[in-house]
Amino acid sequence: MSDYRIEKDSMGEIKVPKNAYYAAQTQRAVENFPISGIPMSRYMIKALGIVKASCAKVNADLGLLDQTVASYIMKAAQEVIDGKLDEHFPLDIFQTGSGTSTNMNTNEVIAFRGSEMASTDGVELRIHPNDHVNFGQSSNDVFPTAIRIAAAVEAKQSLVPSLEHLHTALREKGEQYKDVVKTGRTHLMDAMPVTFKQVFDGYARALELGVARIDSALERVLELPQGGTAVGTGINTHAEFGARFAAEVARVTGLPFMESVDHFEAQATIDAPVELSGQLKTIAVSLMKIANDLRWMNSGPKSGISDVMLAPLQPGSSIMPGKVNPVIEESTVMVCAQVIGNDATVTLAGGMGSNFELNVMLPVAAHNLLESIKLLANVTRNFADRSIRAIVVNEIRVREQLDKNPILVTALNPIIGYDLAAQIAKKAYKEDRSLKDVALEMTDLSESDLDKALDPIKMTLGGFTE
């Protein structure tokens, strides 16, 4: 019993670990949800701290909460924001669907720590988790608000800079090899030539569009449900609370948060987080394409394509000495698969969890959305630094492949016609000869005419090469 203390709530007494800052409601949730062992995201805990600190300040400014009580709530909430109290947030993500358990966990921790800080300062004060920390709030507006704050802050401060970092690396790599022409490929088969700059600029553009997609989705995420309380009507809170709260969060985070246009929409759905998750999925699809392209271009080194050489970072086999694998690309593809799967969960949570005035799959939606942001932010920066920046183009191999590419005959179509061009291509491929030599035999074109028409760099510029 010395390891426990007795706490009470509306359901009676319960034993709580002696040194825990939380109280009865959190302990009941600990016992009720021994599901996954996955705790609430650090991003969510931080966002909940921001919510509680901002609520306390606004309510004090409105004259609804004692200034001294509010000041200690804000001090304790700041420790939550800073990650100093994470050990006191033990709850599983698979819990009550509104996030009430974690909201009360936050209320209890801040009440306990705030009271403790006041006592240390010689101030006689007992902060109540419901009457004070949760004043003018409901789990039903607190938790979806925290999701939006966490997602917006991490997307703008972590993910977008990482995407821009990868974008820069791709542009720089393309510029480094801007004059090198390689065999293009469609259907995994040889096609018309392209420059490495064109290839890498295409990848970079996909990242630009990814950032634009995030920015667009955030326009909806920045609308905060706080102020709607239980069902969106704003019962038990001040009429100005929602707008003032959003302004305070905007001040703290530096992001243009605003009160939701319609609290019923903002609390009854998670459409904005679902939209953002969908955009993260699109970014994952783009990254998967880039990583897989590089895996193909690096294949070999003797029997594959071998357009590029990726950095040799670690041994690739426990049985085959000397084998080196594209490990960064493989880790990137796995992250992309995880993000795509996370989006499926967020989508289902949005569609099946939203009934009447509340979504009741909020914790799992929050976990998957924020995990996707974190994974994409980390993997894009790693991809840029440990893969893209270290790529070396195999210029000799690329030129050899290009010289034997029968598809270059496409440039002769306007001069000699499709049918004769096809015959030349098939003969060159069958006899493993250069297109130029075969064309000299089968057409009246001079060597200089063929050199001009079959110039690979001109083919990458579009139009006609004649």
Q: Which residues are catalytic?
A: 187, 317
Q: Is 260 exposed, middle or buried (CB count within 10 Å of its CB: 0-12, 13-18, 19+)?
A: buried
Q: Which two tokens stand for residue 148?
A: 């939006």
Nearest C-alpha neighbor of 459 from the set 174, 187, 188, 195? 195
The answer for residues whose C-beta is within 8 angstroms of residue 64's C-beta and 6 or more apart is 135, 136, 238
Amino acid letter for position 148 = R
Angstrom distance (rounded) from CA 120 to CA 113: 10
DSSP, collapsed to helix, strand or coil, labels residue 413 as helix
Q: Is 236 exposed, middle or buried (CB count within 10 Å of its CB: 0-12, 13-18, 19+)?
A: exposed
The half-sphere exposure of 428 on its side-chain side, counting CA atoms within 13 A, is: 22
Paired strand residues for 195: 181
Q: Which residue reads 């701290």 in tokens?
A: 49
**Euclidean distance between the first and the last CA atom of the chain, given in angstroms as a whole number:** 92
Paired strand residues for 4: 17
Nearest C-alpha neighbor of 129 from the set 115, 141, 145, 147? 115
Q: Any alpha helices (H) in 409-446, and if so which ranges?
A: 413-416, 418-431, 435-442
Q: Assess contact for 376 and 159: CB atoms under 8 A.
A: yes
Angstrom distance (rounded) from CA 12 to CA 40: 26
Angstrom distance (rounded) from CA 247 to CA 337: 37
